[in-house]
């Protein structure tokens, strides 16, 4: 039996979108494929990226009913979030939604899809290159990513999977955060909210890796988001996320199974060691950057505040002091201003270096 | 006269060392026996999406993304492929990613604290100050890092600066009142500074102690040192009987409990526990078992265990029993490298060097270290005098002696000081004066009923006399040897006796005689 999701190339959708070549498939953390991607082009010349829901994996599962339910639920959830995020300037939004029917509808050959904006490149491709990008670019990325995350947080959405490959660079609009497939919204039920960690384990904050899940949504989800924002800053500066740096300085016997170790104790018992490893990692990151400038120090300070191993202490100390328990202590507005300020200083630095090198 | 003797009763107190050393000795591991199956995450599933993307498109971007996650959750063959790919493309890839790729392929991680704990570096005060400066910067930027506060305290302790050390420890225990590493180090600091109550208070108020055998072991030993009953002894023995913990984690607990029980006269239970402590011992419990074995109340340690376990203190105990003094000195150096906060390796090293080897130079390497920690300690100064006298530097010996003579000392220490004055007089050539001073020291020790100092003084006097070939010495040596006194059984004293015997045999051959008052006429030597 053919897989309808594989047969979209060449189709015309809603008389507006022409489906181009398949660009690959997304594989869920459970190992099953659940979406297939295509390039699409609009009749007015705009390009897009189509994500088609693939039921074939679910139909072949041991319990197809449950798998189909999971799949459609996740798809509808992402669609709903994208609707909420439509006005957000720093979030990759959906250009269109729909369902395509192939042949006989009685054979259930229907494929729901979402069309996204297509980016020029990802942050990952830039930071993996030999030359470190200019500091001004790094600071701008941080500023825009923070704006994006703040936009999500104001709607009580936690992204849960911020990483360089999910930060897309558009030539005309700068950085936007993509892939809300793993996001969680406060008060809204979604299956992956039940998982310890819906995102990429390689980027998960330490408390999650040690199995600590705070009962409070803000601490459990928003705080892990801002850890990943700090970790994203480290990726921009060094090419590697903070968790990878932490791993290299944490003794083997204190690492949890999720970090390829065998420590099975509580997070509270090991947090002092994680704090020590965190301090050491920041020193190593600073050494690696090798630029003794105030704006780099400030950036490291931001990382220190954003990535505190104690999830309840993350974020700006003043925000914690003012807001207390009443509001959201993980509010990012102070960081938006701070990164904006650092962009200016980084520009001056880049300009100075550029002039010197000439 | 050398005035300090190594311990007679060893307590199984926690070692205070760096975090990486503690990690190397397995002291940070989770201690409870796992009730569930070992958690074995399938790396392939955690990385499936990234692997799929990498397999689809083998480019730098996907490879970098895969190794970034792989380095955290675990390495599989695809992660290795990606790492190799990145290394091959190194001229186009960011340096940090190349480093990470090498890490993936080499399979090892960097040590968390780069500490150079070699004997020579430990004596380098400038290096210690440099590390203090680095750590001060760190705790300023990361004030919640309890482990760094503790490390700062350790470095201050190495310099003998107990006040700043105490402040750092207070901060560390406030920040991490449940952390095993912090609590054990703090307990050791308070034991060293004589503030046992504070150490016990910290241990007993922590919630972790009920589930942590390492903390229970510390509480038992600290209570023993303080002469108070342990609150956890009974509970801990019960837990050991129920086999709650992995043998490695209960080793110190068994050793500590065994030591207390033996002192209470519960020999059979003590022996059983000591046997349990060497099922999978750590270095410290292994040493305790070796000590108990030498003392004769615990089974001897299998030779193969000795080969596996790197336990320098146990080696010191073993080598001195076998009169292998050079090996014992090397083991003292290793012991100091392993536990620089303890004065015991320095005391032992100096004692062996002075009494068994009569090597002043070697003794000074240990004593100078001790002098940094406790600069005005009369015993260290006294031993420095002895060391200078042995190497023939009477000027330096006299200078140190004047410093010692100006101190207010308790009576037994006064006896040691007088004997040391006697030694310097002997080495200056004032034999009669030297002998009189020794006799005075013996007299004071006898009045105080301090057998240890009395016999130390006698043996040192006999040693000086043997060099002079005093005629009636042979008989005196025999009688002194017959006398009771634990000090006579010390291997170092045995070595000293051998030297006296050797000198006596030489003097018999040369028919040497001296013109001083016969020693037999003094009342304080067991001549008759």
Phi and psi at residue B94, to the nearest 5°: -60, 140
Q: State the pLDDT at residue A219.
A: 87
Distance CA B331, CA B316 (A): 5
**Mean pLDDT calculated for residue range B33-57:** 66
For residue A35, the chain B residue with the least C-alpha distance is B49
Which stretch of A187-191, B29-33, B181-185, B427-431 has the lowest confidence by average pLDDT?
Answer: B29-33
Q: What percent of chain A has pLDDT over 70?
A: 93
Same domain, A32 and A89: yes
pLDDT at B40 over 70: no
Contact assignment for B73 to A239 by CB distance below 8 Å: no
pLDDT at B119 over 70: no
Q: State the pLDDT at residue B496.
A: 86
Q: State the pLDDT at residue A29.
A: 40
Stretch(es) of chain B classified as CATH 1.25.40.10: 115-212, 310-388
pLDDT digits (tens, 9 = 90+) for B210-225: 989 999 999 999 999 9
Whichever domain contains A33, its CATH number is 3.30.200.20
Which of B43, B45, B103 comes nearest A248 by C-beta?
B103
Q: Measured between beta carbons, which residues in chain B are less than 8 angstroms from residue A288?
A: 96
Taking the CB of residue A286, how many other CB atoms lie within 10 A of it?
18
Phi and psi at residue B192, to the nearest 5°: -60, -40
Same domain, A98 and A245: no
Q: What percent of chain A has pLDDT over 90?
A: 42
Same domain, A163 and A175: yes
Distance CA B339, CA B138 (A): 23
Q: State the pLDDT at residue B212.
A: 92
Same domain, A94 and A203: no
Contact assignment for B142 to A282 by CB distance below 8 Å: yes
Q: How confident is the model at residue A169 (pLDDT cuts 50, 70, 90)?
A: very high
How many residues are recorded in chain B?
528
Q: Are B265 and B226 in contact (CB under 8 A)?
A: no
Same domain, A39 and A106: yes
Q: Are B42 and B54 in contact (CB under 8 A)?
A: no
Selected from 3.40.50.1000, 1.10.10.10, 1.10.3720.10, 1.25.40.10, the CATH number assigned to the domain covering B310-388 reads 1.25.40.10
Q: Measured between beta carbons, which residues in chain A are less than 8 angstroms from residue B72?
A: 201-204, 243-244, 247, 259-260
Give the bridge partners for A114, in sequence order.
A51, A97
H or E stretch covering A17: strand A17-27
pLDDT at B399 over 90: yes
Q: State the pLDDT at residue B149.
A: 96
Contact assignment for B68 to A241 by CB distance below 8 Å: yes
Higher pLDDT, A24 or A197: A197
DSSP code for B246: -
> Is B409 an 8 Å CB contact of chain A?
no
- Which residue in B366, B423, B415 sits closest to B397, CA to CA? B423
For residue A209, the chain B residue with the least C-alpha distance is B73
Same domain, A207 and A108: no
For residue B91, give the 3-state DSSP assignment.
helix
Same domain, A93 and A211: no
Query: Choosing among A128, A253, A300, A317, which should be mutated to test the B contact, i.e. which has the most B CBs within 10 A?
Result: A128
Same domain, A154 and A175: yes
Query: Choosing among B59, B68, B137, B180, which should be mutated to test the A contact, i.e. which has the most A CBs within 10 A?
Result: B68
Q: How confident is the model at residue A227 (pLDDT cuts 50, 70, 90)?
A: very high
Mean pLDDT, chain B, rounded, equals: 85
**Mean pLDDT calculated for residue range B374-380:** 90
pLDDT at B2 over 90: no
Q: Measured between beta carbons, which residues in chain B are less than 8 angstroms from residue A268?
A: 178
Q: How confident is the model at residue A59 (pLDDT cuts 50, 70, 90)?
A: confident
Task: Transcribe A193-256 into DSSP letters.
Answer: GGSS--S-GGG--HHHHTT---SSHIIIIIHHHHHHHHHHHHHHHHSS-HHHHHHHHS-GGGS-
Taking each helix axis from N to C terminus, what angle separates B180-192 and B162-175, rounded to the nearest 10 degrees?
A: 150
pLDDT at B522 over 90: no
For residue B55, the chain A residue with the least C-alpha distance is A24
Chain B contacts in chain A segment 252-291 (CB below 8 A):
252-254, 257-260, 262-265, 268-269, 271-273, 275-280, 282-283, 288
Domain boundary among A117, A148, A183: A117
Contact assignment for A252 to B109 by CB distance below 8 Å: yes
* ipTM of this predicted structure: 0.80
pLDDT at A279 over 60: yes
Chain A contacts in chain B segment 130-169 (CB below 8 A):
138, 141-142, 144-148
Chain A contacts in chain B segment 14-43 (CB below 8 A):
19-20, 23, 26, 28-30, 32, 34, 38-41, 43
Q: State the pLDDT at residue B112.
A: 41
Domain boundary among A117, A136, A166: A117
Chain B contacts in chain A segment 44-103 (CB below 8 A):
none
Q: State the pLDDT at residue B39.
A: 44
Q: How confident is the model at residue A177 (pLDDT cuts 50, 70, 90)?
A: very high
Same domain, A187 and A266: yes
Tell me the shortest Cα–Cα distance from B347 to chain A, in angstroms: 33
pLDDT digits (tens, 9 = 90+) for A309-320: 999 999 999 988
Q: What percent of chain B has pLDDT over 90?
A: 45
Q: Measured between beta carbons, which residues in chain A are less than 8 angstroms from residue B47?
A: 202
Say which CATH superfamily domain B115-212 falls into. Tetratricopeptide repeat domain (1.25.40.10)
Contact assignment for A253 to B29 by CB distance below 8 Å: yes
Q: How confident is the model at residue B44 (pLDDT cuts 50, 70, 90)?
A: low
Q: How confident is the model at residue A28 (pLDDT cuts 50, 70, 90)?
A: very low
Which stretch of A148-162, B239-253, B420-434, B475-489 has the lowest confidence by average pLDDT?
Answer: B475-489
Distance CA B91, CA B226 (A): 64
Q: What percent of chain B has pLDDT over 70?
A: 84
Which stretch of A62-66, B186-190, B349-353 has the lowest confidence by average pLDDT?
Answer: A62-66
Taking each helix axis from N to C terminus, what angle separates B394-405 and B378-390, rounded to the nearest 10 degrees?
A: 160
Same domain, A168 and A97: no
Same domain, A49 and A75: yes
Range of the domain at A43: 4-117
Q: State the pLDDT at residue B488.
A: 67
Q: State the pLDDT at residue B311.
A: 87
> Is B391 an 8 Å CB contact of chain A?
no
Same domain, A68 and A168: no
pLDDT at B111 over 50: no
Distance CA B67, CA B284 (A): 40
Mean pLDDT, chain A, rounded, equals: 87
Q: State the pLDDT at residue B516.
A: 47
Distance CA B38, CA B239 (A): 22
pLDDT at B67 over 60: yes
pLDDT at B508 over 70: no
Q: State the pLDDT at residue A30.
A: 38
Chain A contacts in chain B segment 70-129 (CB below 8 A):
70-75, 91-97, 100, 103, 109-110, 112-113
Q: Measured between beta carbons, which residues in chain A are less than 8 angstroms from residue B93?
A: 128-130
Q: Measured between beta carbons, which residues in chain A are less than 8 angstroms from residue B112?
A: 249-251, 276-277, 280
pLDDT digits (tens, 9 = 90+) for B333-346: 999 988 899 999 99
Chain B contacts in chain A segment 218-237 (CB below 8 A):
235
Please count the structural domains in chain A: 2
Which stretch of A109-113, A146-150, B2-6, B229-233 has the lowest confidence by average pLDDT?
Answer: B2-6
pLDDT digits (tens, 9 = 90+) for B471-503: 677 677 767 666 656 666 788 888 888 888 888
Tell me the shortest Cα–Cα distance from B210 to chain A, in angstroms: 13
pLDDT digits (tens, 9 = 90+) for A139-148: 999 999 999 9
Distance CA A171, CA A267 (A): 43
Q: First-to-last CA distance in chain A?
A: 63
The most distant pair of C-alpha atoms in chain A lies apart, rounded to whole Å, by 70
Q: Are B297 and B262 in contact (CB under 8 A)?
A: yes
């Amino acid at each position: 039996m053919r897989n309808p999701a594989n047969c979209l190339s060449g189709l015309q959708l809603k008389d507006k979108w022409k489906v181009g070549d398949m660009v690959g498939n997304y594989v869920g953390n459970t190992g099953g494929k659940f979406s297939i991607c295509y390039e699409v082009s609009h009749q007015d010349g705009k390009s897009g990226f189509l994500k088609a829901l693939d039921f074939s994996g679910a139909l072949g599962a041991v319990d197809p009913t449950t798998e189909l339910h999971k799949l459609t639920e996740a798809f509808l959830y992402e669609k709903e979030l994208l609707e909420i995020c439509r006005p957000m300037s720093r979030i990759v939004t959906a250009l269109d939604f729909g369902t395509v029917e192939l042949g006989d509808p009685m054979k259930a050959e229907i494929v729901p899809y979402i069309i996204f904006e297509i980016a020029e490149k990802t942050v990952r491709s830039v930071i993996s290159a030999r030359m470190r990008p200019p500091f001004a670019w790094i600071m701008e990325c941080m500023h825009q990513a923070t704006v994006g995350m703040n936009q999500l947080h104001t709607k009580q959405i936690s992204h849960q999977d911020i990483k360089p490959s999910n930060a897309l660079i558009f030539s005309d609009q700068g950085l936007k955060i993509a892939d809300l497939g793993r996001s969680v919204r406060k008060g809204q039920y979604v299956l992956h909210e039940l998982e310890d960690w819906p995102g990429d384990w390689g980027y998960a904050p330490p408390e999650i890796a040690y199995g600590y899940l705070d009962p409070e949504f803000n601490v459990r989800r928003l705080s892990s988001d801002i850890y990943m924002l700090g970790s994203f800053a480290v990726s921009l500066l060094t090419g590697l996320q903070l968790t990878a740096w932490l791993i290299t300085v944490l003794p083997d016997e204190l690492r949890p199974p999720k970090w390829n170790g065998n420590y099975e104790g509580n997070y509270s018992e090991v947090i002092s060691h994680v704090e020590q490893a965190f301090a050491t990692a920041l020193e190593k990151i600073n050494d690696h950057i090798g630029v003794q400038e105030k704006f780099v120090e400030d950036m490291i300070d931001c990382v220190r505040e954003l990535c505190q191993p104690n999830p309840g202490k993350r974020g700006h100390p003043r925000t914690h002091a003012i807001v207390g328990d009443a509001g959201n202590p993980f509010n990012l507005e102070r960081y938006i201003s701070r990164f904006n300020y650092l962009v200016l200083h980084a520009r001056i630095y880049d300009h100075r270096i550029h002039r010197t090198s000439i | 006269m050398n005035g300090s003797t190594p311990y007679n009763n060893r307590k199984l107190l926690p070692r205070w060392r760096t975090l990486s050393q503690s990690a190397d000795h397995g002291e940070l591991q989770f201690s409870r026996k796992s009730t569930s199956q070992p958690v074995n995450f399938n790396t392939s599933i955690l990385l499936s999406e990234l692997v799929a993307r990498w397999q689809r498109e083998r480019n730098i971007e996907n490879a970098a993304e895969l190794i970034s996650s792989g380095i955290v959750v675990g390495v599989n063959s695809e992660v290795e492929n990606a790492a190799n790919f990145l290394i091959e493309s190194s001229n186009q890839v960011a340096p940090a990613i190349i480093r990470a790729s090498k890490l993936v392929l080499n399979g090892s991680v960097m040590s968390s604290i780069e500490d150079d704990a070699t004997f020579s570096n430990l004596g380098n005060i400038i290096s210690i100050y440099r590390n203090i400066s680095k750590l001060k910067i760190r705790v300023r930027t990361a004030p919640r890092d309890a482990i760094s506060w503790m490390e700062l305290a350790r470095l201050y302790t190495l310099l003998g600066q107990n006040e700043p050390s105490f402040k750092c420890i207070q901060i560390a225990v406030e920040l991490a009142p449940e952390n095993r590493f912090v609590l054990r180090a703090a307990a050791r600091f308070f034991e060293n500074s004589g503030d046992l109550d504070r150490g016990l208070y910290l241990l007993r108020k922590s919630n972790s102690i009920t589930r942590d055998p390492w903390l229970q072991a510390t509480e038992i030993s600290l209570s023993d040192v303080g002469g108070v009953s342990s609150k956890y002894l009974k509970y801990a023995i019960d837990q050991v009987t129920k086999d709650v913990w992995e043998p490695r984690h209960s080793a110190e607990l068994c050793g500590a409990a065994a030591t207390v029980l033996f002192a209470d006269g519960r020999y059979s239970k003590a022996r059983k526990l000591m046997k349990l402590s060497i099922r999978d011992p750590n270095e410290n419990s292994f040493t305790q078992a070796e000590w108990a074995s030498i003392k004769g109340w615990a089974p001897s340690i299998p030779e193969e265990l000795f080969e596996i376990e790197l336990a320098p203190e146990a080696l010191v105990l073993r080598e001195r029993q076998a009169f292998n003094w050079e090996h014992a000195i090397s083991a003292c150096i290793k012991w100091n490298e392993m536990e620089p906060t303890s004065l015991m390796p320095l005391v032992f090293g100096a004692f062996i060097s002075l009494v068994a080897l009569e090597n002043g130079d070697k003794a000074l390497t240990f004593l100078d270290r001790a002098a940094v920690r406790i600069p005005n300690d009369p015993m260290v100064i006294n031993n420095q005098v002895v060391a200078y006298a042995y190497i023939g530097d009477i000027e330096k010996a006299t200078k140190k002696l004047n410093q010692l003579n100006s101190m207010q000392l308790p009576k037994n220490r006064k006896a040691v000081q007088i004997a040391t004055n006697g030694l310097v007089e002997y080495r200056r050539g004032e034999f009669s004066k030297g002998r009189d001073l020794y006799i005075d020291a013996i007299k004071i020790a006898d009045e105080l009923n301090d057998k240890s100092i009395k016999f130390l003084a006698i043996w040192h006097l006999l040693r000086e006399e043997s060099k002079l070939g005093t005629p009636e010495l042979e008989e005196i040596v025999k009688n002194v040897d017959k006398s009771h006194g634990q000090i006579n059984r010390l291997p170092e004293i045995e070595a000293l006796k051998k030297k006296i015997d050797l000198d006596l045999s030489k003097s018999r051959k040369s028919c040497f005689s001296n013109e001083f008052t016969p020693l037999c006429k003094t009342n304080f030597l067991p001549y008759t």
